[in-house]
Amino acid sequence: MRVKNRLSSYPILNRYDQSSHDFREECTILSKITLHSEFENYVCDVEFDINCPSIEALIRQDLARYCVHVESPSSCYREEYLNKEKTFHFSFRNTLVNESIEINTFIVLIKDIPNYHLPEFHVDYENASFDLRKHQIIAIGDAVKYPCSKKEMDKLSSIIKIRRIDNDIDGVMTVNTDDDSNCIFVGLQSEIFDSYCRLGKNDYRKTVLSLVLFPALVVILERMYLAYKNSEEDTISKHWYEVIENQLEKNNIKIANLDIQHSDLLKVAQSLFGEPIRSAFNELDNIAMGGE
């Protein structure tokens, strides 16, 4: 579940939305979420920290509850955990989830509240009241996302796989981003693949990787940009797209801002891969100096 920042028809205390002015500035909600593995289960510890006395009172009066929503979209697992206490924990079987676990936190009503009005509302809502119903959200806390299968899942190299191709109809090198959700296949024509395997094992590893992966990554980034621009859900929803997007965002790069007309793609591919061209030439230099 992704909680999007949208205007709502009534005030919601929102951890992430600093601009909506639904509540007075001093009102805050935070939630600390930790997830760890214990044998065949995942155990989640949650601690809410809220500075809004009226909402806390609603919980004490059994009108609202702290709520944690857990979802693993690719395994169709969704569950919610409600509690009166600020701190609680729960567990679920690890066989229920796959790829990633998304955890969102809320405070939700468990009974209807006609004429909902809190003294902590922003002054704009001074005279406003709302008829709210059971299950409506009145506060949104922190959210986290955990990868949950292979340890290496976040590393770029595990989602790009270099394989032999049987023919060179499409050239000596291909980049296949369509056929698999989890990874991208870089195909090398048979003879070239043999050279890659032979040379890549020893002294020329960085050079070989740079020759193969760097151009592939430029192609991949361009396809990601176009998929984003054309709202191609099939591509955007793929796991490899998400992993690369996360890597980019960690480096403050947004796909929407990539300028494929200029040298942005080269620059981004370089930084994503730890300057492969420089590494390759350093490697060649070392080999050349060693051979003199």
Binding site for another protein (CB under 8 A): 1, 4, 6, 8-10, 12, 67, 69, 71-80, 82, 94-99, 106, 108, 133, 135-137, 149, 161, 163-167, 176, 178-183, 185, 187, 234, 237-239
Alpha-carbon dihedral 207, 208, 213, 215, rounded to 10 degrees: 70
Q: How far apart, in Å, are the Cα atoms of 225 and each of 129, 141, 242, 261?
A: 45, 31, 13, 11
- Smaller CB separation from another protein, 71 or 120: 71
Length of the chain: 292
Please report how close the Cβ of residue 163 comes to another protein at its closest, in angstroms.
Answer: 5
Q: How far apart, in Å, are the Cα atoms of 117 and each of 5, 12, 14?
A: 22, 11, 16
Please report how close the Cβ of residue 148 comes to another protein at its closest, in angstroms.
Answer: 9
Q: How far apart are CA 173 and CA 151, in angstroms?
A: 29
Element (H, E) at 60: helix 53-60
- Smaller CB separation from another protein, 93 or 201: 93
Please report how close the Cβ of residue 270 comes to another protein at its closest, in angstroms.
Answer: 27
* Residue 18 tokens, joined: 């600093």
- Smaller CB separation from another protein, 64 or 265: 64
Please report how close the Cβ of residue 93 comes to another protein at its closest, in angstroms.
Answer: 8
Q: How far apart are CA 5 and CA 140, in angstroms?
A: 10
Please report how close the Cβ of residue 291 comes to another protein at its closest, in angstroms.
Answer: 36
* Residue 175 tokens, joined: 């980049």
- Smaller CB separation from another protein, 31 or 136: 136
